[in-house]
Chain A
């Protein structure tokens, strides 16, 4: 099946710094990727939809200046958490849809655990 890979899988940073998380589709081109956030013992919440070559679409309540999304190519989307604070500590997961498949199935990355000290 299609493979989506995230990097880094975990990162620890100091409060006030910025952190970039990459999401790659390894064997297909994805015009759209999705970024989710998972708090402990809670469900995944969609943060934004990343569109190749255009601005991301953010869900209500998600600060677009805080969570910068760049989808510069058909195989790469990045999420940058700017001026990170401890409350940004979370598990961030990306997903993408393989347009070759008619099922509409989403493929998820391994996730990136961010800890802000």
Chain B
């Protein structure tokens, strides 16, 4: 079956610190992988995605590389800001399917 395992939070970092949120997945075939972000009081927004092995998704300074050999899609950012405080969800979707399978979410708090 399909599942996503995500690093448990919460994570608290100082501004300008390096961020890594781990995500591993189980899936058949070649799924697409996503990171969604949920800011306080808002719905989910797509942060970045990768559709095949070795692809790197990037947006707003965040990056994640689709690693098929380790079935991982870890989210990284070199220097976090207070405005990055949010809940981050890793997700996968099978090719041609609309349904997303989400991880449990990781709450990030960045303090000045």
Contact = CB atoms under 8 A, between A and B. Distances in A.
Contacts of A105: 46, 49
B102 A43 contact: yes
Given A43-B104, A104-B93, A6 B99 contact: no
B69 interface: no
A54 interface: no
Contacts of A109: 43
Interface string B82-102: 000000010001001011101
A60 interface: no
Interface in A90-117: 93, 95, 97, 104-111
Interface string B1-22: 0001000000000000000000
A46 B43 contact: no
**From A4, A32, A43, A49, residue with most partner B Cβ within 10 Å:** A43
Contact of A93 (B44, B49, B96): B44
Contacts, number: 49
Given A104-B93, A108-B43, A97 B104 contact: no
B71 interface: no
Interface string B30-69: 0010001000001111100100000000000000000000
Contacts of B89: 43-44
A97 B105 CA distance: 22
Given A34-B98, A34-B99, A42 B104 contact: yes
| A-B complex: 9 closest residue pairs judged by Cβ atoms | A110-B43, A108-B44, A43-B102, A43-B104, A108-B43, A111-B43, A44-B102, A109-B43, A97-B98
Interface of A: 4, 6, 32, 34, 41-46, 49, 93, 95, 97, 104-111
Given A34-B99, A41-B105, A108-B43, 19 more contacts: A32-B98, A34-B98, A41-B104, A43-B4, A43-B103, A43-B104, A44-B44, A46-B99, A46-B100, A49-B98, A97-B98, A104-B93, A104-B96, A104-B98, A105-B49, A106-B46, A106-B100, A108-B45, A110-B42
